[in-house]
């Protein structure tokens, strides 16, 4: 993704203009009455805050994925890969992102990035460099130490991964060994808030002090972190969250950030599911 660069003094002006666009779009939606009751003067600062969070994470996504791994990440016990537009086998699916060019294959690319990240962390745990050639024996040792990838999507998203595993082949073996699927009984109503509330490790509870990696796009990241920040959504306090964001793509900016910011406003001011402040995170 090409980074948005600002000339001196222009960054604040950019976020002022963008927050106004978010406000205008949001008050054209069913959440208008609630937002008008809260008032533009109180909503705009929140919009600016989430837009700046997204922008910071887009900048981080510019860095090569494996170069963002530190020694402390050997403690990562799981990688969460929330489902995204498309599926493993299809560039898009029936949802609000269908046929939007910049979201093409997002789901598959996040799973592939999660596999690369998991294996790199397994190598780190085994005392090997995160990249480079290894003997077959060392590769197996690293793979055995690679943290599980937690994937919780709609039934069609989960089924696409199950089908890929059933076809066999090298990728199927990695998917079978690393990916842990969490199913839902909510069908296509399953959404990002459900993903937060259903997140779990394969054989144990998430506990304070655990270190979790998340592979996701910046817009969705900020929404999830504000969900995590609300204790009512049951994500334990004291978990160390390390974000490994993938770029939205220049062609998706700022449209995608505007869309995601409107969604966060709904969850913050209409339903109350999103907290004022995000859950603490690292990147």
- Residue 7, pLDDT score: 53
Distance CA 104, CA 202 (A): 29
At residue 245, the pLDDT reads: 98
pTM for the structure as a whole? 0.92
**Looking at residue 2, what is its pLDDT?**
46
pLDDT attached to residue 70: 97
Starting at the edge strand found earlier in the chain, the sheet holding 179-181 runs 179-181, 149-151, 76-80, 211-216, 240-245
Sketch the domain layout of the chain as residue ranges: 1-62+249-283, 66-216
With residues binned 3-state (H G I as helix, E B as strand, rest as coil), the percentages for the chain, rounded to 5, are 55, 10, 40
The CA-atom distances, in angstroms, between 66 and each of 32, 124, 226, 235 are: 43, 11, 26, 27
pLDDT in tens, 7-39: 555 788 899 999 999 999 999 999 999 999 999
Least Cα distance to 143 among 121, 168, 171 occurs for 121
Q: Which residues of the chain, if any, have pLDDT below 50?
A: 1-2
């Amino acid at each position: 993704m090409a980074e948005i660069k600002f000339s001196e003094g222009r960054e604040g002006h950019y976020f002022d203009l963008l927050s106004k666009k978010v406000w205008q779009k949001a008050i054209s939606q069913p959440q208008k009455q609630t937002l008008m009751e809260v008032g533009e003067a109180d909503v705009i600062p929140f919009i600016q805050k989430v837009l700046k969070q997204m922008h910071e994470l887009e900048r981080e996504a510019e860095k090569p994925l494996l170069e963002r791994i530190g020694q402390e990440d050997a403690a990562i016990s799981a990688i969460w890969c929330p489902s995204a537009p498309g599926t493993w086998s299809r560039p898009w699916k029936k949802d609000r992102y269908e046929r939007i060019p910049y979201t093409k294959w997002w789901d598959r690319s996040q799973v592939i990035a999660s596999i690369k990240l998991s294996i790199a962390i397994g190598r780190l745990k085994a005392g090997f460099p995160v990249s480079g050639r290894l003997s077959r024996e060392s590769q197996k040792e690293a793979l055995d130490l690679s943290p599980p990838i937690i994937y919780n999507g709609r039934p069609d998203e989960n089924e696409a991964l199950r089908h890929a595993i059933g076809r066999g082949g090298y990728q199927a073996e990695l998917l079978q060994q690393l990916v842990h699927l969490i199913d839902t009984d909510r069908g296509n109503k399953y959404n990002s808030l459900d993903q937060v509330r259903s997140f779990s490790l394969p054989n144990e509870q998430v506990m304070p002090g655990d270190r979790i990696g998340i592979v996701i796009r910046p817009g969705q990241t900020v929404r999830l972190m504000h969900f995590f920040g609300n204790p009512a959504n049951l994500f334990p306090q004291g978990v160390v969250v390390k974000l490994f964001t993938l770029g939205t793509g220049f062609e998706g900016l700022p449209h995608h950030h505007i869309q995601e910011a409107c969604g966060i406003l709904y969850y913050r001011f209409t339903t109350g599911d999103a907290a004022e402040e995000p859950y603490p995170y690292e990147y």
